[in-house]
Amino acid sequence: MNVPVLTGISRSSMRAAIAVAIIAVIFTGWGCADNPPVVYPTVAPFDNTKLVLGPGDKIELTIFHGSNETKSAYSLDATGRMEVRYIGGVSAAGKTASEVQKEVQERLADGYLKEPVVSLTVVEINSLHCAVLGQVAHSGSIKFTPGMTIVEAIAQSGGFTPLARKNLVRVTRLVEGKKETYKIPVEMIAEGKRPNFPMAPGDEVFVPERAW
């Protein structure tokens, strides 16, 4: 039985083929590194003054009338209501802070106080949330705060797991009644290599598992 013997040329050819294969693997690995373009919002998608209040939100009312000043703290109940001195129940759910402030002032001026001036400050928002799912330490709902960024949302969820695909995080957002999905390079943002992504109430974040 004749056993084929590798000649010098065939050995050279094999070495060349192996080298090409190794180079291909290296470049394939480089090609797997996520580096999505900046095709996502980089400024807040809404005006903070237009955020509506809801159950659990904490506010502070200051009422000026004549030389008197009254300051009171409130936590909106399960229906988004609070009890204000003189005028009783005020429903704040679904209204902006300025709308509630105007309503309280108008009702106080309607036979209760003379030329009252009302100042309303939002102390803590507890009614707005985002969802962070997938390869994070604590998957689930998190509290939204005005000015929150994608990096802060991931941090509030306990950070990435070792299997997280950090530069291809998907964020789904409802925009004018339609869902839009953005691919966010979170790790590159944290390193200052990409502009930040501001979160919006109701955003759904999904961190996929890396494939390598």
CATH of the domain at 182: 3.10.560.10
Do residues 197 and 137 share a domain? yes
Nearest one of 77, 174, 187, 68 to 131, comparing CA atoms? 174
Strands 140-143 and 129-134: what pairing? antiparallel
Domain boundary among 124, 153, 173: 124
For residues 57 and 114, state if they share a domain: yes
* Residues spanned by the domain of 75: 52-124
pLDDT per residue of the chain (212 residues) written in tens, 0 to 9: 554 444 444 555 545 444 434 433 333 333 347 888 888 999 887 788 889 999 999 999 999 998 999 999 999 999 999 999 999 999 999 999 999 999 999 999 998 999 999 999 999 999 999 999 999 999 999 999 989 999 999 999 999 999 999 999 999 999 988 999 999 999 999 999 999 999 999 999 999 998 87
Residue 65 within any structural domain of the chain: yes
Q: Quick one: 109 and 143 in the same domain?
A: no
Residue 28 domain-assigned? no
61, 89, 124 - which closes a domain: 124
- pTM, two decimal places: 0.74
pLDDT of residue 164: 97
- Kindly state whether residues 40 and 133 are assigned to the same domain: yes
Q: How far apart are CA 119 and CA 195, in angstroms?
A: 36
Q: Kindly state whether residue 166 falls inside one of the protein's structural domains.
A: yes
198 DSSP assignment: B
Domain match, 58 and 119 both: yes
- Do 203 and 132 lie in one domain? The reply is yes
